[in-house]
A and B are shown apart, each in its own frame.
Chain A
Amino acid sequence: MRKIIRDGAIVVDDWLDLDATAPIPPQGKIIVPLARWLEEKPALLARVPRGVGVRLGPDHDPFALASDLPALALIAVEFPVFRDGRGYSIARILRQHLGFRGELRAVGDVLRDQVFYLRRVGFNAFAPRPGLDPEQVLAGLNDFSDAYQPAADDIVPIWRRRQPAPVA
């Protein structure tokens, strides 16, 4: 089983990634593409107690899941290449506009030098690109101890925190 990072720790991935056509196993947690979720929703809703997650591509509209969020324990957002930054906005929309509270997982070309920002926009789980050492990727979460601006975390902006400016 592959290892991923979840909530700051390396864990064995207990979710099964399914494509558009793979048979749905009766047991276990599964992740299905958005299109499959929308098409097979009645059947998939029935197995929600066993764990259903949805995978969004970078060009998918997160608002399409607005009314389904309570049923979903996980949303995975794909990064086809690490330079493609759309997933960062998708994460903030899911967390901050739609109030998603489940696992938000970055998948695809997920590298060490991006995970700090990925966590700040709301991802709490990271499936590193195959071949990467999860320990190294985990270290990237500690690149910075602070931040200037608010995001999908509890940072209070520095301009509201800092000492009053000296009087000129």
Chain B
Amino acid sequence: MYVYDRHDQTLIEERVAQFRDQTRRFLAGELSEEEFRPLRLMNGLYIQRHAPMLRIAIPYGLLSAQQLRKLAAIARRYDKGYGHFTTRQNLQLNWPRLEDVPEILAELASVQMHAIQTSGNCIRNITSDHLAGIAADEVADPRPFCELIRQWATLHPEFSYLPRKFKIAVSGAAHDRAAIKVHDIGLLLRKDADGALGFAVYVGGGLGRTPMIGELIRPFLHRRELLPYLEAILRVYNLQGRRDNIHRARIKILVKALGPAEFARQVEAEFERTRQNPDLLLDDDAIAAMQRFFAPPPYDPTAAEERDHLHWLQQDAAFARWYARNTVPHKQPGYRGVFVALKGFGRAPGDMSSEQMEAVADLAERYNFGEIRVTHTQNLLLAHVRERDTHAVWQELNRHQLAAPVIGTLSDMIACPGLDFCALANAGSIDVAEQIRQRFEDLDYLYDLGDLRLNISGCMNACGHHHLGHIGILGVDKRGEEYYQLTLGGRGGLDAALGERLGPAVPKHEVAETVARILETYVALRQPGESFLDTVQRVGIAPFKASVYAEPVSEERAHA
């Protein structure tokens, strides 16, 4: 992974000092709340329902064991002993004290971490594919480019007061696992007809209250010109994006208003100028130097000959179930990617205690070259575990309640923090996720339902990506009551689509029952081997609507 040298270290330490002084001036009354607000947001600090929330950056979701241990220690010392991993691969602390934040940032800086640009109207954490570097369907590893973009975007003098937040995701694989089409900019590594490596560039995707799928504005951008092109997009947006209405300020609104073709034309015109700046061009030496940071770890070429785990797969049904659901193939023979499930056991999706973080840091050092990844779906991944070690890793994960064998199933839900923590939310997310999880505890039924993405957002800001859930659940406020609107057929990936609304919202206690009716309908209608998503696409939502709304679940709805 990328390692700081004195340049990086100097910058983050100066950022800590700057924020310490800004906090001091705010507490002393020298900075108004209005003036301090964007400054603290650009350092990931929100004022929330109960306490401030601090969002710590995990660039493209990559962590060292040492960093994860530091996060555990920070959560224990300054928070309530746990943290929350987000869909954008960051970590949120829900209970720090404002006065402690400069100290937390100083501790983070000691392990090459920070909270820079995890919020605010600036370029946010660059996210990527959690299977980068290990997936067989990869054209090229996206992480070196993520890091180059991160450096270009960090403390960017021109793009720190944008009309609104700005999110960039990079994928290098045939299957998009980074949701690039719902980002302000989505970059897809590809090769042109001559075999040159570059990017397809998507712009203007996003969720929130006006969800949109990104538009392809450039089918091929040479890798050398990545930064001048990004700079051109950002400059057009910075100058023309709306600033009069926060809900109309994202780049997607500008792309829609101008039309993708006109937007692309303006970007190309600016690109003709920005590409003249030699300092922005990425020569192959610079790219190669960055690629060395992400070189494969020293795999053992004999690993594929070790078959110990096969014995366990036959002997231990629980292990076999976990192995089938929670591990993924690795392009290096003899290795697997192993998910650390932050789901199940009554926890909020993505939540992890300090003890669990430390246990995973130990596992990473023993079995995974000291590396940990955060996934878009709010789990962790140990990306390079020897197959022969999977049984030992499973036992240890099990001991720490990190081995719920539900990855990719209905129980592997994405959920935002919701009304319990977030000042924006209209309704709870965590308790609804728990209601659903409890209702579908039977693993055989979960496995029979197959791959299923269920996403929950507590409000239309859509942090839980409900639009992209095969089943999406959106919390709404109805006359002071928590209600939930369901959508079907949403999906991420390169054929991303937004879910279609099923019908009227249902009260909170009916959510699990409503999901049950949807799933019963699927089971009744599916063809052999057909996934939930494929069935919804084939039959449309009408049959689901009919089964959900045919009979009232409770008295309450009969009279609603």
For the complex, what is the distance from the CA of A148 to the CA of B7, rounded to whole Å?
A: 8
Complex interface: chain B residues within 8 A of A166 (CB): 3, 292
Interfacial chain A residues near B158, Cβ < 8 Å:
85, 88-89, 92, 117, 120-121, 151
Kindly list chain A residues whose C-beta atoms are within 8 Å of the C-beta of B286. 159-160
* Mask of A94-122 contacts with B, CB within 8 angstroms, 1/0: 00110000000000000101101110110
CA separation between A83 and B194, bound complex, in Å? 45
Q: How far is the CA of A159 from the CA of B283 in the complex (A)?
A: 11
Given contacts A156-B279, A159-B290, contact A147 B239 (CB under 8 A): no
Partner among B14, B157, B162, B289 whose Cβ is within 8 Å of the Cβ of A151: B157
Complex interface: chain B residues within 8 A of A13 (CB): none
Q: Establish whether residues A147 and B159, one from each chain, have CB atoms under 8 Å apart when the complex forms.
A: no
Residues of chain B with a CB closer than 8 A to A40's CB: none
**B129 vs chain A, min Cβ distance (A):** 20
Inter-chain contact B277/A96, CB cutoff 8 Å: yes
Contact with A along B1-44 (1 / 0, CB 8 A): 00101011011001100100010000000010001001100000
Give the tally of cross-chain contacts (CB within 8 A): 120
CB neighbours of A116 from chain B (8 A)? 157
Give the nearest-CB partner of A143 in chain B: B18
> Which residues 120-168 in A have Cβ within 8 Å of B in the complex?
120-121, 143-151, 156-168
Tell whether, in the assembled complex, residue B35 and residue A113 are in contact, meaning their CB atoms are under 8 Å apart: yes
Q: Are B7 and A144 in contact (CB under 8 A)?
A: no
A168 touches B22 (CB 8 A): no
For residue A159, which residues in chain B have a CB less than 8 angstroms away from its CB? Answer: 148, 151, 286, 289-290
The one of B148, B154, B279 that contacts A150, using a Cβ cutoff of 8 Å: B279
Contact with B along A74-96 (1 / 0, CB 8 A): 00000000111110111011001
Q: CB distance B155 to A144 under 8 Å?
A: yes
The reply to whether A143 and B14 contact each other, CB–CB distance below 8 Å, is: yes
Per the bound structure, the CA–CA distance linking A137 and B552 in Å amounts to 65
Q: How far is the CA of A42 from the CA of B227 in the complex (A)?
A: 41
Q: A151-B157, A159-B151 are in contact. Are A146 and B11 (CB under 8 A)?
A: yes
Nearest residue, chain B, Cβ from A114: B161
Contacting residue for B22 out of A84, A113, A120, CB 8 A? A113
Total chain A interface residues with beta-carbon distance under 8 A: 42
Q: Is the CB of A148 within 8 A of B11?
A: yes
Q: Given the complex, which residues of B lie within 8 Å of A117, measured CB to CB? A: 155, 157-158, 160
CA gap between A163 and B286 in the complex, in Å: 11
**Segment touching A, from B74-82, B293-301, B334-342, B380-388:** B293-301
CA distance A83 to B123 in the complex (A): 15
Residues A89 and B238 in contact, CB atoms below 8 Å apart: yes
- Does B209 reach chain A (CB closer than 8 Å)? no
Interface centre among B163, B279, B295, by most A CB within 10 Å? B279
- Flag whether B152 is at the interface (Cβ < 8 A): yes
Q: Complex: how many Å from CA A162 to CA B3?
A: 11
Do A157 and B39 have beta carbons less than 8 Å apart?
no
Given contacts A89-B238, A166-B292, contact A147 B161 (CB under 8 A): no
Q: Is B325 an interface residue (CB 8 A)?
A: no
Do the beta carbons of B35 and A111 come within 8 Å of each other?
yes
Distance (whole angstroms) from the CB of B32 to the closest CB of chain A: 10
A82 engages B161 (CB within 8 Å): yes
Give the complex CA separation of A85 and B152 in angstroms. Answer: 18
- How far apart are B501's CB and chain A's nearest CB, in angstroms? 35
B residues in contact with A150, CB < 8 Å = 277, 279-280
In the complex, what distance in Å separates the CA atom of A118 from the CA atom of B148? 23
Q: Are B239 and A89 in contact (CB under 8 A)?
A: yes
> What count of chain B residues pass the 8 Å CB interface test?
47
Residues on B with C-beta less than 8 A from A151 are 157-158
Task: Choose one: B14, B39, B292, B293; the contact of A145 (CB below 8 Å).
Answer: B14
CB distance from B462 to the nearest CB of A (A): 24
Could you say which of A82, A86, A120, A165 contacts B293, with CB atoms under 8 Å apart?
Answer: A165
Given A88-B157, A149-B152, A168-B292, answer yes or no on A83-B14 (Cβ-Cβ < 8 Å).
no
- With A85-B161, A97-B273, A158-B8 in contact, is A148–B238 under 8 Å at CB? no
Contact (Cβ within 8 A) B151 A149: yes
Set of chain A residues within 8 Å of B22, measured between Cβ atoms: 113
Complexed CA–CA distance, A83 and B158 (Å): 12
Give Cα A133 to B290, complex, Å: 44
Closest to B295 in A: A168
* B155 contact set on A, CB distance < 8 A: 117, 144, 147-148
Q: How far is the CB of B453 from chain A (nearest CB, A)?
A: 35
CA gap between A113 and B7 in the complex, in Å = 22
Rounded to whole Å, the gap between the CB of A19 and the closest CB of chain B is 24
Alpha-carbon distance between A151 and B155 when the two chains are bound, in angstroms: 11
What separation, in Å, do the CA atoms of A82 and B161 have in the docked complex? Answer: 8
Contact B289 A165 (CB under 8 A): yes
> For residue B307, which residues in chain A have a CB less than 8 angstroms away from its CB?
none
Question: Are B161 and A83 touching (Cβ within 8 A)?
Answer: yes
Nearest chain B CB to A15 CB, angstrom units: 25
Distance A99 CA – B243 CA, assembled complex (angstroms): 28
Contact call B290/A165, Cβ cutoff below 8 A? yes
B309 interfacial contact with A, CB 8 Å: no
User: Besides A83-B121, A145-B10, A151-B157, 11 other CB < 8 A contacts?
Assistant: A90-B239, A92-B158, A144-B11, A146-B7, A148-B154, A156-B279, A159-B286, A159-B290, A161-B7, A165-B293, A167-B292
Across the A-B interface, the 5 shortest Cβ-Cβ residue pairs: A85-B161, A120-B157, A150-B279, A117-B157, A168-B295
Binding site for B on A (CB under 8 A): 82-86, 88-90, 92-93, 96-97, 111, 113-114, 116-118, 120-121, 143-151, 156-168
Can you report 18 A-B residue pairs in the complex whose CB atoms are below 8 A from each other?
A86-B238, A92-B158, A97-B273, A113-B22, A117-B158, A121-B157, A144-B15, A148-B154, A150-B277, A151-B157, A156-B279, A157-B280, A160-B279, A162-B7, A164-B292, A167-B292, A168-B297, A168-B298
